[in-house]
Amino acid sequence: MTEQLFTLGLIGYPLSHSRSPLLHNAALRALGLPGKYHLFPVRNAAGISYLCQQIRQERIQGLNVTIPHKRTILSFLDETKPVAEVVGAVNTLYLQDGKIVGDNTDAEGFLQDILKAFGRDFIHRQGRGLILGAGGAARAAAYALLQNGWNVTVAVRRSSQGNQFRSDFSSHGLVVDIIDFSKDHLVRNNPDLLINATPVGMTPNIADSPWPADLPYPNKAIIYDLIYNPPKTKFLARAKMEGKQTRNGSGMLIIQAEASFNRWTGLQSPPGVMQKAFYRFEHNLQRSEV
């Protein structure tokens, strides 16, 4: 019997900073599975269509999808999982019963990471979340909180994006409050969880923060940044200095990757394997930058 070869990968553009090959190749190695996770830097529909054909012909077993294709990919699918449908973004593709299926593991990654970091009681409190930004990651975080009975407010800089967010969620019976991304509106919120779902503060723009410098953080909020590069953004560094509980996006990244790996292979990445690969890489990166 020939052993199954796993050809996995990531579609997006640009991709040079992706940590996904590191995580998935570590899991393949740890399980002794032959195969590799590749980067497919694809800019246009022709490239996406070609890779979808490769899935259909079972030459590729699974793909992740990232910027700028998380929403455009929807038109290439035979089926969309409910979570990807509500979130309106796909980050994982695979073939199921002959159909190309689009799934989203970001919401699961976010929720499981919150549970891991702050415990079940924190989630069961059904508190208030304030999300900065209204892109795919913000939608995944909003979905995860709403599913657990939280109230969710989303701060947007473009009202058209906010209206679309609200109407997409409301067509699935989910209610979000949309506010303008301005000091006047941010100050009126007192969330239990403040989440940065914008790219503001990400490498190389590490001196930036999405939270206004002259606005105090909400007094009872845990501060969560979806960014993992750098590990301590300006947004988190200030919160830490003010004695707040903080969390960066590395836990979410690892858990969403484990969930995608499971969809593709039917197997669990052995506990800690992706995490170790991630932290070894970050540690070496920091040493090389000293």
What residues make contact with ligand NAP under the rule CB under 6 A? Answer: 67, 106, 109, 133-138, 157-158, 161, 181, 197-200, 202, 210, 226-228, 249, 252-253, 256
Sign for the pseudo-dihedral over CA of 264, 270, 272, 274: negative
Looking at the Cβ atoms of 65 and 95, the one nearer to ligand NAP is 65
User: 70, 116, 183, 232: which one is catalytic?
Assistant: 70
- Residue 126's Cβ-count burial label (10 Å; 0-12, 13-18, 19+) is exposed
Closest-approach residue to ligand NAP (CB): 135
Q: How many CB atoms lie within 10 A of CB 205?
A: 12
Nearest approach, Cβ of residue 240 and ligand NAP (Å): 18
The one-letter code for the residue type at 2 is T
Nearest approach, Cβ of residue 67 and ligand NAP (Å): 6
Nearest approach, Cβ of residue 3 and ligand NAP (Å): 31
Q: Where are the beta strands (DSSP E) in 18-135?
A: 35-41, 62-65, 79-80, 92-96, 99-103, 128-132
In the block, residue with structure tokens 């999808």: 65
Q: Say whether 183 is catalytic.
A: no
In angstroms, what is the C-alpha Rg of the chain? Answer: 19
Nearest approach, Cβ of residue 224 and ligand NAP (Å): 10
Looking at the Cβ atoms of 2 and 160, the one nearer to ligand NAP is 160
Pairing of strands 92-96, 99-103: antiparallel
Looking at the Cβ atoms of 150 and 165, the one nearer to ligand NAP is 165
Looking at the Cβ atoms of 56 and 185, the one nearer to ligand NAP is 185
- What are the catalytic residues? 70
